[in-house]
Structure 1
Amino acid sequence: MQTSPAHAAPHDEREIETVEDFDATVSSRGTLAGYRVQAVDLTDRTKELLTTDTAGAVFLGCPMRNEAAAKIRADGALVFPPVPHLPFDPYRGHLYTPAELFASLDKGYERTPDALAYAWFQQTKADGDIYASMLRAVHDDSISDALDELLRGARVVGVMGGHAMARGTKAYGGAARLGRELSRSGFTVATGGGPGAMEAANLGAYAAPYEDAMLEEACELLAGSPSFSPSITDWAQHAFEVRTRWPKGNHSIGIPTWFYGHEPPNAFASHIAKYFANATREDGLLARSNAGVVFLPGAAGTVQEIFDNATPNYYESRGEPTPMVLVDREHWTERLPTWPLLRALARERSMESRIALVDRIEEAPEALKRLTH
């Protein structure tokens, strides 16, 4: 059954992010003074706004009638109106869903909100428009706030790996089984949210409530479109076919970026925290992987993530070091000899007992558990 993370805590008491929250607050508290109302359509709540104290409140991107806006401004509230003609809402209060980012996929990927947001990003980045920069910053901060609210109290394991891992391969199937095992063990799986190894891990988490045969069948179906190149539309449609056939998958997190806009998000992460700023996205993904990180074979991006994660572990800047498991001894000792350097860095430090190198992906969950205890 698809659920939100069981550990998610209620929203900050001062934040209102749905019409239901708005109605409940007005009914129970009788005031909106000091509240932050975020991306809630208040067009039909004029009476409540006209009769409720809103002193010191902040309304972020909330559609409302002119008389209501005038009244709450007179109360001393700040009103940041919705920004027209944007392919995204900079004030959004929740993470994205696959259905939201891939809306209009039947007309071609280039017509989806995901593709349109990337096109806007490319245009405004080239223009150097400070207004657009502000909108991107507000959006990314809103996403971080929503992600923190969702993951509060959760045990998060990050799964890192390259986007080039093709559907239908042995490696893809192994990454999917890893995601399934982690999800069944009570962890919230978090990935970079893109194709390849990232998609496989999110798929595995999605498959966790089903019998084992479901994942094998899903992988066979997906193999009909092995890569997002040359057709993102075909690649994504195969994923939604899986979701339609098995609609009650488990939750997981994808944290992609429009910085790499040629690389689409995958459709198996139930909650997608998509950023414009890649640096914010990279640091946020690793910082939130509080139960450890599994690094599958990858190239430059995965190598960067290994040492991005190793640095706070080395200095213990985030507290006790989190486990790091590297998968595929040959890859990390010969092709890209990252392991010897990581081990040298860890020597005689507290992180030394929190790193491991395993040969096979099937060994990763047990290694993670061993490093945790």
Structure 2
Amino acid sequence: MPQQRHEPGGDSAGELPQDREIETLEEFDLRAEGGALGGYRVQSVDLTGRTGRLLASDTAGAVFLGCPMEPEALAKVRADGAMVFPPVPNLPFDPYRGLLYTPDQLFDGLASDGYEATPDARAYAWFQRTKDDGDVFASMLRAVHDDAVSDALDELLAGAPVVGVMGGHAMARGTDAYAGAARLGRSLARTGLTVATGGGPGAMEAANLGAYLSSFDDAVLADALELLGKTPSFRPSVTDWARAAFEVRERAPGGARSVGIPTWFYGHEPPNPFASHIAKYFANALREDGLLARCTAGVVFLPGAAGTVQEIFDNATPNYYASRGEPTPMVLVDREHWTRDLPAWPLLTALAGERSMADRIALVDTVDEAPAALAALAGRTAGA
């Protein structure tokens, strides 16, 4: 028989709480007040200071994922029948993490020791050492990590209207194209949409920057663009590139929410610090599929190369097979680029034909036209 579930605090034997994940010490303290932790999954919470509560609680059926605890507490929860997956030593990332990364976490140590000392750089170095060595333990750790990141991303974006902004990493700071992408991110965020990008440099960074500064006035964005333009690229120095971004954040603290979804598969491209929440993956296929699948309010495609072309048709495929009313809007920016340089638009329109996705695609000349085009397509969707 399937197990019954109940809200935390229920008293039926064998029932599981509906909200079973504990991801912070505050959540642990709240759930432990009743003395029953059975059925909960505790993810990467340092419990070394909660020995008394663990000894006093019934932890039968609980699962502890990467939670440090004192030996006495560890022996007790195991005796209760809880499953314990101990922290993995000497690892530059936490495979059991319950929350997405923040820029401060990934770039910890940047100010004092440079990018190479940061957790982001060390995780990429570990990935480079282990990705081809055939070690099943390393591949398991990567898989567990990526699944935990997906779970945290789903929790963050539950119910949120998400718009994707895709574009090339080569777009340099200080260019008109970069400024346009930043205006785009700001405009979309100001309409109440959550902006999601591939989380890297170039167009992705610009869109996250615009979203971050969406609650500030135009002068703040102009000053940020001027400051960033002094360090146009992450080459030759990721350290200088990232420090400039953090200087912008220090001058304008408390920016708005947006999401970056990068990958250590392309770890030579650092994540940008303007996404408030960063879902970084080891597996690029999971990252690509997860990014597009979560863009429920549509996707804007800025000029790009092979990666952006791939994303256009990765997004078009489910739209092609969707029934009427289901396809998500797609807006391609820069008519010349998408019809002559890389003619994705003719193929996209040929695929659309008379299918329902034909009412959900648009081609515009400039980036400033994209928000209105997206809104028009979304209006068609709403009225379908």
Same fold (TM over 0.5): yes
- Map of 2:228 onto structure 1: 222
Is 2:89 the partner of 1:91? no
DSSP 3-state at the match of 2:131? helix
1:212 aligns with 2:232: no
Pair 1:65-2:70 in alignment: yes
Does the residue aligned with 1:126 lie in a helix, a strand or coil?
coil
Within the candidate set 253, 256, 264, 1:258 is matched to 264
RMSD, aligned α-carbons: 1.3
Mapped to 2, the partners of 1:275 and 1:213 lie a distance apart of: 35
**Post-superposition shift, 1:126?**
2.6
Identity %: 75
CA distance in structure 2 between the aligned counterparts of 1:85 and 1:317, rounded to whole angstroms: 49
Question: Are 1:103 and 2:108 counterparts?
Answer: yes
- 2:254 aligns to what? 248
Paired with 2:63 and 2:292, the residues of 1 have a C-alpha distance of 31
Q: Within 5 Å, which residues of 2 pair with 1:50-199? A: 50-106=55-111, 107-199=113-205
Shift of residue 248 of structure 1?
2.1
Distance change >3 Å, CA 145–CA 317, structure 1 → 2:
farther
Bigger drift between 119-128 and 195-204 goes to 119-128
C-alpha separation in 1, matches of 2:30 and 2:104:
28
3-state SS in 2 of match to 1:325:
strand
Q: What runs of 5+ residues in structure 2 fail to find an aligned partner?
A: 1-16, 380-384
Q: Does structure 1 residue 307 correspond to structure 2 residue 316?
A: no
Take 1:262 and 1:24, find their aligned partners in 2: how far apart are those partners? 41
The verdict on how the C-alpha distance between 1:226 and 1:361 changes in structure 2, with shifts beyond 3 A counting, is same
Deviations 1:49-87 (A, max 9, x none): 112111111000000011211111111110000000001
Runs ≥4 residues deviating over 4 A: none
Asked if the contact 1:312–1:318 (Cα under 8 Å) also holds between the matched residues in 2, the reply is no
TM superposition shift of 1:12: 6.1
For the residue of structure 1 that corresponds to 2:178, the secondary structure is helix
The question of 1:345 aligning with 2:366 is answered no
Greater displacement, 266-275 / 317-326: 317-326
Partner Cα separation in structure 2 for residue 335 and residue 246 of structure 1? 38
- What is the deviation of 1:341? 0.3
The answer to whether residue 335 in structure 2 is matched with residue 329 in structure 1 is: yes
* Inter-partner Cα distance in structure 1 for 2:175 and 2:362: 25
> How many residue pairs align between the two structures?
362
Partner Cα separation in structure 2 for residue 23 and residue 60 of structure 1: 17
The residue matched to 2:147 in structure 1 has which SS?
helix
- Partners of 1:318 and 1:47 lie apart in 2 by 57
Measured in 1, the distance between the counterparts of 2:75 and 2:225 equals: 56
2-structure distance, mates of 1:364, 1:54:
53
- Partner AA of 2:367 in structure 1: I
**2:52 is matched with which residue?**
47
Partners of 1:46 and 1:65 within 8 A in 2: yes
Partner of 2:12: none
Cα deviations by residue, 1:12-46 (Å, 9 ceiling, x for unpaired): 6111111110110111x430011101100111111
The CA distance in 1 between the partners of 2:366 and 2:77, in whole Å, is 60
Unaligned runs of 5+ in 1: 1-10
Offset, 1:108: 1.5
Residue 227 of structure 1 aligns to a residue whose secondary structure is coil
Q: Is the 8 A contact 2:200 2:260 kept in 1?
A: yes
SS of the residue aligned with 2:48?
Answer: coil
Q: Which amino acid aligns with 1:202?
A: N
Deviates further, 162-171 or 208-217 = 208-217
What is the DSSP-based 3-state SS (H/G/I as helix, E as strand, rest coil) of the residue aligned with 2:331? Answer: strand
C-alpha distance in 1 between matches for 2:41 and 2:202: 39
SS of match in other structure, 1:103? coil
| Residue 326 of structure 1: how far off its partner (Å) | 0.2
For 2:76 and 2:108, the matched residues in 1 are separated by 36
Q: Which has the higher contact order (CA 8 A, sep 6+)?
A: 1
- Paired amino acid for 1:37: V
Residues 309-332 of structure 1: CA distance to partner in whole angstroms, max 9, x if unpaired?
Answer: 001111128970000000000000
Partner residue in 2 for 1:4: none
